[in-house]
Amino acid sequence: MPRADFVILTVPHTPATEGLFDRPRFQRMKPAAFFINIGRGMTTKLDDLVTALEPGEIAGAVDGNRQAIRKDCYGLVRESRWWKGGIKLGS
Q: What is the pLDDT of residues 63-84, one digit of tens each?
A: 766 544 333 344 444 445 555 4
* Mean pLDDT for the stretch of residues 11-20: 93
Say what the pTM is. 0.72
Q: How does residue 9 score in pLDDT terms, banded at 50, 70 and 90?
A: very high
pLDDT in tens, 29-39: 999 898 888 88
Average pLDDT over residues 42-64: 83
Instruction: Give the count of alpha carbons within 13 A of 90, CB side only.
Output: 6
Q: Which CATH architecture has domain 6-84?
A: 3-Layer(aba) Sandwich (3.40)
Beta bridge partners of 21: 44
Contact 39, 12 (CB under 8 A): yes
